[in-house]
Amino acid sequence: MFHRFSTWWRALSVVLLGLATLTWPLAAQAQTTPFSVISQDAVANMSGAGVSRFALTLAVTKGTTNVVQLSLYPQIVYRSEITALMNGTGPSTTALSSTAIATPTCITGSTLNLHVSLFSAQGTGPSPLCGTQPLHLRLPCSATACDGVYPMSIAVTINNVRSVEWSMITVHVASVLHPLLVDFVPMVDSMAWTASALAESNFGVIANYPSFPLTFAVSYLPLSQAMLDSTNRTWRSALSEALASSQHRAIVSPPPNADLAGLAANGFSSEVTQQVSLASSLLRTITGRFTDGPVFLATPPSPATLDALSQVGSSDVVVPDASFTPAPSNTLGWGAPFRVTGATSVTALSTDGGLEQLASDTAIEPGRRAAMTLATLAFLHFEAPNASSLRTVIVPLNVGSISPTYVNDLLQASQSNPFITPSTLASSFNSSLIGTNNSPSELTLNFSTTSAWSSANVSSLTTLISHTNSYLHAIASPTQTAALQLYLATSEESGSSSNRQRAISAATAYLNTQLNGFRIDDSGITLTGASSELPITLFSSVHYPVTVLLHLITNQLSFPNNKKVYVVQLSTSTTPLRIAATDRQGSSLTLQLEVTTPDGQLVLAHAAVQVRGVGTSVVGYLLSGTSLFVLAWWWLRTYRRKSRGRHAR
């Protein structure tokens, strides 16, 4: 049976889910039904004697519960039948078996715990009771032939009003030769930050299953926001705890509007690398974890997009099954990696769109949704129960919009489900599996167009990249680094050239506010001797440390070891310096000062400073010597005249 959360936790998850997805009509519909499924066993394990049992827990609203009826219908043959059940439409055929209890006495408060026996045609045994009323269902098949997935209706009559919900139950008899490899992929995209409380709850649930293999698909958008928000550290801590286990892996998921194909086509392959590596570096900063090689694309790509990824070393890619017509999940040729027409050296796997839709369907209660998810996976197994090679199913789970109760029920039950083996994504990209089980070895994408770039896009982005990368060499602040990288990355978007230009201009404006935060004091300097010190003051209005180069440009001053470039750490608003200098000419001069980034590519500040010298020069020595000579000659001449006059008398 699924692990049951307390009532307050379930109520909280419903509220958070409603806030995150903004699907109030659906949420209201789910909460106003006369009853809901709290939990349900997804599998009934039938013995060789044809006996099995499953549990079902219902929450009923206030009122008199008149009748509870369970009915099983013929095995599901087509996947479209599952879609109908998701939409609340059951089979049109007659039920195979039904069981009902009138005025049940096994209700505790508003909770009805039911245990149901399920027999084959020849199976016999005791049936669980609700009060004095037995609950049992019987299938018209021998024990060895009952394997399959069956639609199940749950009908509850309250105050003489009958309501019906649809679910599924899987009957397991025979051993499973090759369980499906199921890759649950918690998606950490922009919704994970918008609905941060909900995402934190899902991180907490996943952290409780450290031995459960799964792979996070991480976008740099929420990671950057987490780096920039110094007040919300709980989100970062929750993500770190969810990734603490070595069984919990992570891969990169570029934002849907990142124009990877356009970047590559316009000579910005290094930015394709940055679009992939940015999430990796941010994740390592936040959690200390590295990412695996595959890349997860949340929206259908073009062949040029896949080529751009391949050229920078990302050749294993997960794509939505909506990228193809028909979608692989709607055919029998799913479950194996494949090549993509027009994309060189790319190995791809597709997600299962039907399971992704089911996982996010808030109109279905979490407990019933988890049971239906696992029943769908069992149905996929039964499509080819004797498949000779492993088959992979990828199920995205968006942590910013999905119920934590659903995630808990799903992971809890998956641990003992005989039809699936939870796995991480990297192991599914085995080239030896291409074309196995009669799956296609190559598929053609629906989308082939790429967005157009204007010459202004190219030139302005070139400048922005150059200036940003140069300034990044000057700063060590992780927060400011994340901000600059985020502005640059989000400017490289798909769409029209005008929209792209606006994004580039916004990123440039932000960068310029940082670059304009430096100044040099241009007050005049007076040297008091031939050898003295230059007092130079640098000003910074940014609120983080910056390492810069100070260049002294002049041919009239000499410096120790002829050093004219100094590394300066600007960690406060004012940085005074005293630099030794020698002025051998004693004349006034103009000293040019420049502050640049460490690579010297970007000038942050410039000043022309007037320097006045008052020390003794060579000319001064000559003038002084001449004056002394004239004075001595005058004194000697005067002395001789006085001596002659004395002798004459």
Q: Do domains 33-172 and 518-615 have the same CATH topology?
A: yes
Place of tokens 């009958």: 162
CA distances from 417 to 179, 378, 563, 634, 648 (A): 9, 9, 72, 120, 141
Q: Which of 307, 299, 296 is nearest to 340 (CA)?
A: 307
Place of tokens 């929209």: 499
**For residue 624, what pLDDT is reported?**
61
**For residue 531, what pLDDT is reported?**
76
Query: What average pLDDT does this structure show over 78-87?
Result: 96
Q: What angle do CA 402, 404, 405 make, to 5 degrees?
A: 115
> What does DSSP say about strands 111-119 and 136-138: parallel, antiparallel, or unpaired?
parallel
Q: Is 232 a residue whose pLDDT tops 90?
A: no
Distance from C-alpha of 465 to C-alpha of 341, rounded to nearest angstrom? 32
Query: Do residues 10 and 32 touch, judged by C-beta distance below 8 A?
Result: no
Distance from C-alpha of 543 to C-alpha of 536, rounded to nearest angstrom? 21
Cross-strand pairs, 471: none
**For residue 327, what pLDDT is reported?**
94
Answer whether the bond into residue 326 is a cis peptide, omega within 30°: yes
Distance from C-alpha of 205 to C-alpha of 406, rounded to nearest angstrom? 10
Q: What angle do CA 501, 190, 371 make, to 5 degrees?
A: 145
Return the CATH number of 180-443, one of 2.40.110.10, 3.40.50.11720, 3.20.110.10, 3.90.1150.10.
3.20.110.10
Q: Is 353 exposed, middle or buried (0-12, 13-18, 19+ CB in 10 A)?
A: middle
Distance from C-alpha of 202 to C-alpha of 188, rounded to nearest angstrom? 11
Half-sphere exposure of 165 (CA within 13 A, CB side): 25
**For residue 628, what pLDDT is reported?**
72
- The structure's pTM equals 0.86
Beta strands in 435-564 (DSSP E): 442-443, 518-520, 525-527, 531-540, 546-553
Residue 529 confidence class, pLDDT cut points 50, 70, 90: confident
pLDDT digits (tens, 9 = 90+) for 553-602: 998 898 998 999 999 999 999 999 999 998 877 778 999 999 999 999 99
For 243-305, the three-class secondary structure string (H helix, E strand, C coil) is: CCCCCEEEEECCCCCECHHHHHHCCCHHHHHHHHHHHHHHHHHHHCCCCCCCEECCCCCCHHH
Report domain extents, the chain: 33-172, 180-443, 455-515, 518-615, 618-649
pLDDT digits (tens, 9 = 90+) for 123-172: 999 999 998 999 999 999 999 999 999 999 999 999 999 999 999 999 99
Q: Return phi, psi of residue 440, to 5°.
A: -70, 140
User: In this structure, how many other beta carbons lie within 10 angstroms of the beta carbon of residue 19?
Assistant: 15
H or E stretch at 52? strand 51-60
Q: Which of 351, 422, 419 is nearest to 187 (CA)?
A: 351
User: In this structure, how many other beta carbons lie within 10 angstroms of the beta carbon of residue 196?
Assistant: 21
**For residue 179, what pLDDT is reported?**
95
**Is the Cα torsion angle 499, 501, 506, 510 positive or negative in sign?**
positive
Query: Do residues 530 and 616 touch, judged by C-beta distance below 8 A?
Result: yes
Query: Do residues 327 and 321 touch, judged by C-beta distance below 8 A?
Result: yes
Q: Is 541 a residue whose pLDDT tops 70?
A: yes
**For residue 63, what pLDDT is reported?**
78
Cross-strand pairs, 149: 170
Q: Which of 138, 173, 137 is nearest to 43 (CA)?
A: 173
Q: What CATH number labels 33-172?
A: 2.60.40.10
DSSP track, 151-197: EEEEEEEETTEEEEEEEEEEEE-SPPSS-EEEEEEEEESHHHHHTHH
Cross-strand pairs, 293: none
Q: Identity (one letter) of the amino acid at 475?
A: I
H or E stretch at 645? helix 618-648
Query: Do residues 318 and 340 touch, judged by C-beta distance below 8 A?
Result: no
**For residue 638, what pLDDT is reported?**
73
Share the mean pLDDT of the chain.
90
Distance from C-alpha of 172 to C-alpha of 351, rounded to nearest angstrom? 26
The residue among 495 and 166 whose pLDDT is bigger is 166
221-235, 277-291, 371-385: lowest mean pLDDT where? 221-235
Q: Which of 43, 378, 347 is nearest to 180 (CA)?
A: 378
**For residue 634, what pLDDT is reported?**
65
Tokens at 178, concatenated:
């090759």
Distance from C-alpha of 488 to C-alpha of 496, rounded to nearest angstrom? 17
Q: Is 615 a residue whose pLDDT tops 60?
A: no
**For residue 451, what pLDDT is reported?**
87
**For residue 427, what pLDDT is reported?**
85
Distance from C-alpha of 580 to C-alpha of 531, rounded to nearest angstrom? 7
Query: What average pLDDT does this structure show over 188-212?
Result: 97
**Is the Cα torsion angle 192, 196, 197, 200 positive or negative in sign?**
positive
pLDDT digits (tens, 9 = 90+) for 404-440: 999 999 999 999 999 999 999 988 999 999 999 999 9
DSSP track, 620-635: HHHHHHHHHHHHHHHH
Fill in the DSSP letter of residue 332.
Answer: S
Share of the chain above pLDDT 90, in %: 80
CA 591 from centroid of its chain's CA atoms: 50
Place of tokens 């020390």: 615
Residue 626 confidence class, pLDDT cut points 50, 70, 90: confident
Q: Is 441 a residue whose pLDDT tops 70?
A: yes
For helices 196-207 and 404-414, give the axis angle rounded to 10 degrees.
20
Residue 24 confidence class, pLDDT cut points 50, 70, 90: very low
Q: Which CATH superfamily is domain 518-615 in?
A: Immunoglobulins (2.60.40.10)
**For residue 625, what pLDDT is reported?**
65
**For residue 621, what pLDDT is reported?**
53
Q: What angle do CA 430, 431, 435 make, to 5 degrees?
A: 110
